[in-house]
Amino acid sequence: MKPYRALLLVFTLLVTFLPSMPAHADTPAGTPMIFPETGHTLAYNFRKFYDQQGGLPIFGLPLTEVFIDDGRPVQYFERARFEWHANIAQVAAGHLGRWAAQRHAGLSAFQPVVTAPAGARFFAETGHSLDGPFLRFWQQHGGLATFGYPLSEEFAERNAQDGQTYTVQYFERARFELHPELLAGNQVILGHLGRQYLASYPAPEWATRPVSSAGDAWAAIRPTHISIPRIGLATRVEETGFSYGEWDVPRYTAAHYWPVSAYPGTRGNTIIAGHVGYSGIIFNQLPAVQVGDELYLTIGNRDRRYIVREVLTVLPSETWVMNQTSTEMVTLITCIPIGVYSHRLIVRAEPV
């Protein structure tokens, strides 16, 4: 996002749990879905944030698939931009309101006020107040987490979409519009800042192309296969959920853990977890890995090459290996020794 793109700190993680332990992978809320109106998907923590913060009435329809922008996974909606912040393991709405407000910087409504009107809420952080229907809407639909701080007072602005003039107010992540022609209680809506931004700074062509199914979510940026040729390890990587603070792996499959993971080609710790103990599958060969081995991740139709830099054994309590990193890293995790599973084998690789 220009000029309010932030640098990405993302991390990767590979985890596994004892075969006797129950799986708690947090997948249902983030199950991929497709919007036939635009032919785009919504999945994983982006879907969880979308649903929790108001869904379609707040953010509108998705306009793109997820793509990497300045090292961060992002997705555009009619009224918002979603960003994955791996360093805090959270989705946040991008600062499209700040971008859109730049053209109004000289207006009096954008100058900080000394005192707020009676009954209004004043935000010392930006020097602006919030009142009436806009304040109620802000409070009812997520407040700071969804919209950020107010950047202006209320003022009249002509809407480029329909040519009408509405009372509006700008926030870090949104523009509120008061539509008196709508039913009482539903008169505040968000401006289409996502559409407005994409008109000036288009997303990659492939990201705007409609997809055929919900299963295509994240297809262009997530790893789908991992191999370490010297030891004969080769297995698919699946996107799935994650229970925070637990070693949690679906049975019989390797998995790329979205909620705490980075993505190949970005700074951070990409974590992939897999079981051992099931003959001929997943990470059974991983205990034979050595420093210097080549590791390949398949992303879309291309392979990315890494070199194993560290192999270590930790206790189940040593979950620091899942932490973010300031440079790109791949972390693989499985349980050892086979049949006992009392420790975790950690393999860390860096891109060539």
pLDDT the model gives residue 292: 98
Q: Which fold has domain 217-351?
A: Sortase; Chain: A; (2.40.260)
Q: What does pLDDT average to in each consecutive run of 10 residues of the chain (352 residues)? A: 30 32 49 94 91 92 95 94 84 94 92 85 94 94 93 93 91 95 88 96 96 91 94 88 60 73 86 80 90 96 96 92 88 90 95 94
Which residues lie below 8 Å from residue 91, measured CB to CB, with a gap of 6+?
45, 46, 48, 49, 82, 83, 84, 85
pLDDT the model gives residue 278: 67
Contact 228, 295 (CB under 8 A): yes
Q: How far apart are CA 231 and CA 223, in angstroms?
A: 20
| pTM listed for this prediction | 0.82
All structural domains of the chain with their residue ranges: 33-206, 217-351
CA angle 185, 190, 193 (to 5 degrees): 175
pLDDT the model gives residue 179: 93
